[in-house]
Amino acid sequence: TNESVACPDKVGQKWRSIMKITVYNCRDFDERELFLKYEKELGVEIQLCTCAPTQESAALSQGSLCISIITTAMPAELLETFASYGVKYIVTRSIGYDHIDIAAAKRLGITIANSPYGPNGVADYATMLILMTIRKMKSIEMRGAVQDYTLKGLQGRELKDLTVGVIGTGRIGRTVLSNLSGFGCKRIAYDIYENDEVKKSGVHYVTLDEMWQQADVISLHAPLTEENHHMIGEDAISKMKDGVMIINTARGGLIDSEALIRGIESGKIGGAGLDVVENEFGLYYNDRREDILDNRELYLLRSFPNVTVSHHMAFYTDDCVRTVARNAIMGCTYFAEGKENPWEVK
Ligand code: NAI
């Protein structure tokens, strides 16, 4: 739908009353109320649109200094269109910003920002996927649904006997490591920058090769960059332990889906929990139940009894939704006031 909802009142200081923000992909069922509340509290004018930012819907941003988007692709051509409507600041209501052409934005004089929120929602979800995967929860659910109450093939493993490897020890990765500290597993980590707090907590940093050789479970928490695109591919998988389990709540592009599928088919990979997949743009957050999707990998991954797939929703908690909406609008006010903005992508 291309419904656009203009907001009722303009309050606050004079500069703010003319500072307009267009929010794309606004979810009526949870975000709308929040934006209306922050509009009043922060004294800005917010235009709420349920549609995605596209060449067609870009015109809605006319007169807006800032726009807010979600994880829909923002290639150079689309940024150019927004620049032509006078948009100077784009805030993504997400932590990752790999869906935006940052270089093009810089060239066009558009400031890009993200809208971070507490790490616990995603970290809890990743921990849940680890437990679900080692205990074969998808198969248990599938059998229960057809009243098959047998045990054969459902034997799980215990975390105390396993080595869990975390890639990316930033806010989320560190919280996952801390969540895991109560389970008695051996915890190892890899990051391009090692963190002293992590080391002090009994976690051993290893090289990537050591990670592949030692980990029974690998959980990804690094942003997607040009350098680490497909970091888990044919070569890495061949070095991993037999039966390794892979959890991805970071970005689909970190894993080569075809290599992952081959690894599952051969039995090399014993299970996976995937909140994100490659080429999820346009699929996730839409009702596509009558459509034939152009993502064969997703069909295949969903079909495996040992692979749990969810639609990029590890973040989706009450606390995260509240914080992300507020920080998105706060960032716009910092930008308009020329204040230091902690969420600006440098
Ligand atoms: P963060 O910026 O606090 O931490 C990222 C860590 O990854 C940093 O320590 C960084 O040094 C490390 N890193 C960067 N490149 C690396 C590489 N090539 N190899 C290993 N480590 C590398 O970010 P945060 O908040 O922990 O989020 C991590 C990622 O989780 C985000 O970038 C985003 O893609 C994803 N995410 C997914 C969500 C979901 O709903 N599934 C929600 C929120 C974030």
221 C-alpha to center of ligand 1: Å? 5
pLDDT single digits (tens) 75-129: 999 999 999 999 999 999 999 999 999 999 999 999 999 999 999 999 999 999 9
Any atom of ligand 1 within 6 Å of the Cβ of 93: no
First-to-final CA distance of the chain: 34
Residue 29's pLDDT is what?
A: 96
Any atom of ligand 1 within 6 Å of the Cβ of 52: no
Distance CA 198, CA 248 (A): 20
Closest Cα to atom 4, ligand 1: which residue? 170
Q: Sign of the CA dihedral 295, 296, 298, 302? A: positive
290 C-alpha to center of ligand 1: Å? 34
Q: Which residues contact 49 (CB under 8 A, 6 or more apart)?
A: 2, 3, 4, 5, 22, 23, 24, 25, 26, 57, 60
223 C-alpha to center of ligand 1: Å? 4
Distance CA 126, CA 324 (A): 19
Ligand 1 atom nearest to CA at 222 = 7
Ligand 1 atom nearest to CA at 175 = 26
Distance CA 106, CA 120 (A): 32
Any atom of ligand 1 within 6 Å of the Cβ of 312: yes
Closest Cα to atom 20, ligand 1: which residue? 191
Phi and psi dihedrals of 337, rounded to 5?
-90, -5
Report yes or no: 33 and 8 within 8 Å, Cβ to Cβ.
no
Helix ranges (DSSP H) in 70-170:
76-84, 102-107, 120-134, 137-145
pLDDT single digits (tens) 119-177: 999 999 999 999 999 999 999 999 999 999 999 999 999 999 999 999 999 999 999 99
* 178 membership: H or E segment, kind and range: helix 171-180
168 C-alpha to center of ligand 1: Å? 6
> The tokens of 187 are what?
């915890």
Residue 281's pLDDT is what?
A: 86
Any atom of ligand 1 within 6 Å of the Cβ of 227: yes
Distance CA 249, CA 276 (A): 6
Residue-by-residue DSSP string for 241-296: PTTEEEEE-S-GGGB-HHHHHHHHHHTSEEEEEES--TT-TTTTTS--TTS--S-H
Instruction: List active site positions.
Output: 251, 280, 312
